[in-house]
Structure 1
Amino acid sequence: MLGTLALGGLLWLVGGRSRIRLSNRDGYIIVSAFWVLLSLLGTWPLILSVHLGLVDALFESTSAVTTTGATVITGLDDLPKSILFYRQQLQWLGGMGLIVLGVAVLPMLGIGGMQLYRAEAPGPMKEEKLTPRLADTARALWTIYLGLTISCAIAYWLAGMTPFDAIAHSFSTVSTGGFSTHDASLGFYASPAIEAVAIFFMVLAAINFGVHYFAWHNRNLRQYLTDIESRSFLLFVLLMVLLVGLTLRLEGNYEQLPSSLRDATFEVVSVVTSTGFGTVDFAHWPDFLPVLLIFISFVGGCGGSTAGGIKVMRVLLLVKQGQHEIRRLIHPNAILPVRIGQRVVEPRLMQSVWGFFAFYVATFGGLMLVMIHAGLDQVSAYSAVATSMNNLGPGLGEVAYNFQSVSPMGKLVAVIAMLLGRLEIFTILVLLSPGFWRK
């Protein structure tokens, strides 16, 4: 902590007296540099106390602050509680994004924060704010985030966890990070009550926090069903739970449908929200189920949530655009705008979504090839990049449980993938464009 404060103080002395208006370019630079520096600073306790090498410590720290939940550490049950709490705390701070907290403070210093918010906030509709003033928006988000965390901790405690485990797991649940204080994750407890608490709060954390705000502000729970993204997300989760649960039952792995639906519900919610908690080993489930779960991790949660993935709203827009193109083939002269609910989607937004999707696929393919070059087989490389970019955690093959056996080069590739996924690719890739640096 002292080392971090000293570095921050030095940077403040160098640039703290500057009074300039931040541009959009400044926002991208600050956010990208912030997350890289935060990941590097987070390695210190892991190197000193857990005796990890630099690459392993960087992997663990980046996984924490990006809420990915992948790990290189085993023997969690024997680690000091201080280190266990530190890992959970990093995830909690990274969940909402420390930049958003900074946005609430920057206006007090006379510096505008909208440029940082656009670069940091997840989801395709970043210009929208909950309140007229951005600082009030940030405070509202953090109030909701803190309220959910406290409620989750109390619920875990009442369900049977110790106070320490309840607080620690509430951090990683609401942040959809997935770190646990036990090697067996939530399977350590074998408790339906604890699983129910986790499912409930994982779903809440994966819903747009703007929806939480309006539901709380208007005292109307119907907001969750009237919002098309939240409604689509909940319907998608329900369909996947039924598909996975029925497949498990029909394949003979479970004698009773309720038990198969219980495990299916937990694992589907854990994966699609990019939390990564585990109660069973889905990597050894029958038929197509392991690959299906990795597939649905690409969808992720809603925009404006702590979940990873492409985001439900982008997937909805891609589906709507596909339907629009089919209608245009049938009615070539008709004017048929793309709509989400009653809202007409601007062409600029559709172009942004298609551009994001194209770069996402291209980046995924490139990183997967490098991961294979780093020594992983095709299945392991595919799931390693998928779980890193989607900020999920568990994968398939060699990375089903942890990344301990992955080569240093492979871990560095995963670090890059985690940062790209957390900042939604463009925030970092735009820095690589020569035109970005031209005056």
Structure 2
Amino acid sequence: MLTRLAELPLLVVLLGLCGLATVVPALYGLGAADYKHARDFLYSGLFLLVITVMLGIATAAYGPRDLARSHLAALVLAYALLPFALALPLAEALPDTTLVNAWFEMTSAFTTTGATVYAPDRLANTVHLWRATVGWFGGFLTLLAAYAILAPLNLGGIEVISGRAPGRGAVGTAQVTRTADPTQRLTRFALTLFPVYAALTVLLWCVLMILGESGITALIHAMGTLSTSGITGQTAFQSSGGGIPGEMAVFACFLFAVTRRALPGVHLSENRRPLLKDPELRLAALLLAIVTLLLFLRHWFVANWTGSPDGADAPHALWGVLFTAASFLTTTGYISADWQTATQWSGIGTPGLVLLGLAIIGGGTATTAGGVKLLRVHALLRHGERELEKIIHPNSIGRGGTEARRLRREGAQLAWVFFMLFATSIALVMACLLLAGVKFEPALVLTIGSLTTTGQLAEIGAAQPIPYATLSDPVKLILGLTMVVGRLETLALLALVLPGTDRR
């Protein structure tokens, strides 16, 4: 049966999974005696499944010429079309909402951005669970696409390692691709990743419940952590009851958003090296150490002219900075309960610019995190280091072997191209928002929050929180499309649009 389902177009399969996902809030609503919302999600799920069956029958004989690029096109269409299907249950559960708000909410959740236009107390726990489920499903799709769709096409950060042009397979894979069918690869990685992804979510859910969070709150936060969507329910993360032990459990799971090599059960060629030697993990640790120490040590420079807390708050301030910095580096967006203490301790107020910079750097390649990605930043740093060495010793020979030289040359060049495309995207989106009537500072924060899939930056990245509910419909449409671009990355979109399969 799995073989038969794998033969269907990827977009049809994903639509069917959207229908199956409604079972989660429907069962919760049934158990919590919220029968109205349970019926809404159940009936909407059945409707989506009927549409899936009809589309499956209609496309059963469909056979694309280039299956790899067909999967890439299906991935792009999934982020463009599936939010409308996912908005159907939400619109049924909230009959007084608008289509634009429902689409924006589901686009934000599906791209793991986590921005919301609804007040927490307006939505029932069943609806909050649906938001978290959509974000969790979007996080799994991101993982699956990174391994099974983007990596074979040298996209998603893998081009930095391979050094080849994005959108093309590796040299000499023409014979391999005839035996290793892209559909088989997609099925194999789905069966490999899903049990690990689900098991880690359940494990974190149980840990958070043991540490004092309620069952539904712990489940939403577990889903939001593993998917890096940062979605919360009626209770905010910093007030959830887990305290510092709960934040430590979530902090440990940030490791899976920093490096793909930390994900258990996934066999990669680079797993032969120790995890502590992973460049992404080392760079993330360095960035967190620098940010934490700078904000923590700033207390002693401003203590003479500001009313700073006493020394008893030092451990809480240190932890608040470390956790929140790691949360925004992985584009999750959860805020520590000690963050307010940390900002008072540093005397800097809301260090939004620091969090914006961390979100732009982002997490690891082939993870659920967004942003530029740590591996691209690492390649640029290694290139800069090598150039400085050549200035001091012009006749020196670079260290590290063939892989390191490829990373410093072709990898750094491709990383710089992506960074320029990312910066251009920021400028274009900001221009659109400014034309739509948004002021400069909110436009900057909203643009970076959407492109890096860190919607919580609107709450903490500016001097004053920016409520998404107060934005106009054109602004929401712009931000929703920006979230899709940020999730897919501009290189993937260009690789789909520009012809390049016939060139070697």
Q: Pick the TM interval, shorter chain.
A: 0.7 to 0.9
Amino acid at match of 1:89: T
Q: Does 1:68 align with 2:110?
A: no
Distance 2:479 2:104 in 1: 8
Matches within 5 A, 1:207-356: 207-213=258-264, 223-247=274-298, 251=302, 252-255=307-310, 256-278=313-335, 279=337, 280=339, 286=348, 289-330=351-392, 336=398, 344-345=406-407, 347-356=409-418
Q: 277-286 vs 356-365, which deviates more?
A: 277-286
Give the Å deviation of 1:205.
2.8
Give TM-score scaled by structure 1 length: 0.84
**Which of 388, 394, 413 is equivalent to 2:456?**
394
Is this contact kept in 1: 2:125–2:234, CA < 8 A? no
- In the other structure, the counterpart of 1:108 is none
**Maintained 8 Å contact 2:380/2:408:** no
Q: How much has 1:324 moved relative to structure 2?
A: 3.0
- Cα distance change on mapping 1:437 and 1:59 into 2, 3 Å: farther
Q: Secondary structure at the match of 1:345?
A: helix
Distance 1:267 1:147, change over 3 A: same
- 1:153–1:287 CA distance, 2 compared to 1 (3 A): closer
Match of 1:360 among 422, 425, 429: 422
Counterpart residue number, 1:413: 478
Correspondence 1:123 to 2:157: yes
Q: 1:167-221 CA distances to partner (integer Å, 9 max, x unpaired)?
A: 12111111111110136333343722222222222x2231323333379999x99
The match for 1:53 is 98
Q: Which amino acid in 1 is paired with 2:297?
A: L
CA–CA separation in structure 2 for the residues paired with 1:268 and 1:10: 47
Say if 1:207 and 1:301, in contact at 8 Å, map to a contact too. Answer: yes
Following superposition, the deviation at residue 291 of structure 1 comes to 0.9
Cα 1:301/1:429, change in 2 over 3 Å: same
Which SS does the other structure have where 1:258 is aligned?
A: helix
373, 381, 400: which one aligns with 2:435: 373
Partner of 2:24: none
**Matched residues in 1 for 2:425 and 2:127: separation?**
33
Partner of 1:198: 250
2:58 maps to which residue? 14
Corresponding residue number in structure 2 for 1:147: 199
Structure 1: distance between partners of 2:370 and 2:427:
18
- Asked if structure 2 preserves the Cα contact closer than 8 Å seen for 1:30 and 1:116, the reply is no
- The more displaced of 11-20 and 261-270 is 11-20
User: How many residue pairs are counted as aligned between the two chains?
Assistant: 423
Given the superposition, is the C-alpha separation of residues 39 and 117 from structure 1 closer, same or farther in structure 2, using an over 3 Å criterion? farther
Cα distance per residue 1:67-99 (max 9 Å; x no partner) = 11111110x235222111100101111112178
1:307 Cα deviation from its structure 2 partner: 1.1
Question: Are 1:394 and 1:402, in contact at CA under 8 Å, matched by a contact in 2?
Answer: no
Q: Paired residue for 1:164, among 216, 227, 232?
A: 216
* TM-aligned CA deviation for residue 25 of structure 1: 3.1
The answer to whether the 8 A contact 1:175-1:205 is kept is no
The answer to whether the 8 Å contact 1:70/1:402 transfers is no
**Residues 156 and 222 from structure 1, CA distance in 2 versus in 1: closer, same or farther, beyond 3 angstroms?**
farther
Contact 1:145 1:174 (8 Å CA) reproduced: yes
Farther-moved stretch of structure 1 (292-301 vs 344-353): 344-353
* Mean CA deviation greater in 132-141 or 40-49: 132-141
Q: 1:125 to 1:137 in 2, by over 3 A?
A: farther
Distance 1:406 1:118, change over 3 A: farther
- Structure 1 residue 288: Cα displacement: 7.6
TM-score norm. by structure 2 comes to 0.74
Question: Is 1:427 the equivalent of 2:492?
Answer: yes
Q: Which one is further off, 298-307 or 255-264?
A: 255-264
The offset of 1:349, in angstroms, is 3.2
Indicate the structure (1 or 2) with the bigger Cα radius of gyration.
Answer: 2
Q: Is the contact between residue 321 and residue 338 of structure 1 (CA under 8 Å) also seen in structure 2?
A: no
Q: 1:417 to 1:310 in 2, by over 3 A?
A: same
Contact between 1:89 and 1:171, CA under 8 Å: does it hold in 2? yes
Indicate whether 1:85 and 2:129 are aligned.
yes
RMSD of equivalent CA atoms = 3.5
Q: Provide closer, same or farther for how the CA distance between residues 334 and 239 of structure 1 changes in structure 2, counting only shifts above 3 A.
A: closer
**Shift in Å at residue 320 of structure 1?**
1.7
Write the letter of the residue equivalent to 2:444.
Y
SS of alignment partner, residue 97 of structure 1: helix
Q: CA deviation at 1:398?
A: 8.4
2: distance between equivalents of 1:175 and 1:54? Answer: 25
Cα deviation, 1:303-353, whole Å, max 9, x if unaligned, reads 121111111000011122223333444555666488798574274433322
Query: How many Å apart are 1:262 and its aligned residue?
Result: 2.2
Please list the CA deviations of residues 103-146 of structure 1 after superposition, one character each: whole Å capped at 9, or x if unmatched.
9xxxxxxxxx95466469743359989xx983444433323212
Question: Would you say the 8 A contact 2:142–2:368 is kept in 1?
Answer: no
Distance 1:52 1:123, change over 3 A: farther
Question: What is the CA-CA distance between 1:405 and the residue it aligns to?
Answer: 1.2
Contact 1:228 1:341 in 2 (8 A): no
CA contact (8 A) 1:84 1:181 kept: yes
**CA contact 2:224–2:230 (8 Å) conserved in 1:** yes
